[in-house]
């Protein structure tokens, strides 16, 4: 399974970076191949200073070795070895009317010291973080997620949509990071789903990503904007950074397993603001966004 999924994410990385380069029209992804001394490595691809994309990364990694003690406590396991591979992406567009997007699809295995597998699971999802909310964009993104889910099980979309709303919650701000999408973890074989079934589901979601995001970019990338719009975008990006550094499990896992710091922190936007006690104007588009982030809604 690990070879099969790793081959899949390498191919998906190519597909996604090609689609994003095409829509930008100027900037190209630069690939940085790296090795992890404890075992494994990855391919980090970063795009910067484009016409459409200010900064973005589409990373693939496959790492293995002894599970560090700090993560043994987290997973509630003894001294084991692990293998983890995944594709993780974050795209920060320049235009404030184009939303930031994040996605991740990953596979994990744990082995005892005799080399016997003791656990395996899939995880991942995709979610949207707009700065200005267009209802039709939110509906399109969520409908694409729902369609992918329903090819496998009608219960998946409401379940994983709710998990996404719960996970990407900035508890210290009492608001969502964005308008959600899908989030799933610890997808293990059970009486209803084999690990092969979960592979088919996770790759279905991965294959839906460009369909979910690219049409929104096409629609919004050439909209005129002002310094006021840009100012709001940078303030909201600050909340994005707060979530990633305070709450995100993937960031924590990378830092605690001696991951490559440039790849882990490539999710952070290049221009961000933290203004003291900032509140948007009443009845403004900015205030409407905040109200919905305080109380996530069903888009489809």
Domain count, the chain: 1
**Among the listed ranges 32-36, 138-142, 174-178, 217-221, which one has the minimum average pLDDT value?**
32-36
Determine the pLDDT at residue 204. 98
Q: What is this structure's pTM?
A: 0.95
Per DSSP (E only), the strands in the chain are 30-35, 40-48, 53-66, 81-93, 100-111, 117-129, 169-170, 175-176, 180-187
Tell me the three state secondary structure of residue 100: strand
- Predicted confidence band of residue 221 (pLDDT cuts 50, 70, 90): very high
Domain boundaries, position 74: 2-294
Share of the chain above pLDDT 70, in %: 100
Q: Count Cβ atoms within 10 A of the Cβ of residue 114 and give its class: 0-12 exposed, 13-18 middle, 19 or more buried.
A: exposed
**pLDDT, tens digit (0-9, with 9 covering 90-100), for 118-165:** 899 999 999 999 999 999 999 999 999 999 999 999 999 999 999 999
Location of structure tokens 């909340």: 239
Could you tell me if residue 200 is inside a domain?
A: yes
In a domain, 189, yes or no: yes
Return the C-alpha torsion angle 150, 152, 158, 163, nearest 10. -140
Residue 243 lies in a domain: yes
Instruction: Residue 65: give its domain's CATH number.
Output: 3.40.1500.10
Residue 300 lies in a domain: no
| N residues, the chain | 300
36 in any annotated domain: yes
User: Which residues have a catalytic role annotated?
Assistant: 102
């Amino acid at each position: 399974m690990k070879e099969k999924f790793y081959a899949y994410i390498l191919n998906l990385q190519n597909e996604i970076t090609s689609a994003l380069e095409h829509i930008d029209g100027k900037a190209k992804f630069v690939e940085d191949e790296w090795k992890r001394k404890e075992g494994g490595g990855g391919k980090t691809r970063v795009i910067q200073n484009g016409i459409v994309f200010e900064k973005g990364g589409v990373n693939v990694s496959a790492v293995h070795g002894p599970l560090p003690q700090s993560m043994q406590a987290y997973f509630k396991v003894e001294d084991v070895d692990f293998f983890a591979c995944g594709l993780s992406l974050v795209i920060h567009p320049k235009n404030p009317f184009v939303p930031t997007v994040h996605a991740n699809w990953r596979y994990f295995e744990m082995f005892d010291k005799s080399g016997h597998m003791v656990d395996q699971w899939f995880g991942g999802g995709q979610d949207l973080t707009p700065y200005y909310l267009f209802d039709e964009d939110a509906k399109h993104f969520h409908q694409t997620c729902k369609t992918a889910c329903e090819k496998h099980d009608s219960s998946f979309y409401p379940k994983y949509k709710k998990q996404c709303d719960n996970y990407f919650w900035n508890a210290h701000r009492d608001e969502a990071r964005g308008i959600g999408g899908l989030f799933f973890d610890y997808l293990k074989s059970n009486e209803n789903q084999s690990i092969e079934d979960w592979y088919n589901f996770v790759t279905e979601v991965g294959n839906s990503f460009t369909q979910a995001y690219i049409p929104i970019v096409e629609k919004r990338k050439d909209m005129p904007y002002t310094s006021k719009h840009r100012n709001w975008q940078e303030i909201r990006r600050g909340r994005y950074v707060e979530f990633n550094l305070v709450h995100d499990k993937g960031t924590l896992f990378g830092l605690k397993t001696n991951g490559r710091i440039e790849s882990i922190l490539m999710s952070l936007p290049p221009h961000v603001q933290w203004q003291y006690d900032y509140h948007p104007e009443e009845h403004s588009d900015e205030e409407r966004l905040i109200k919905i982030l305080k109380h996530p809604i069903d888009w489809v």
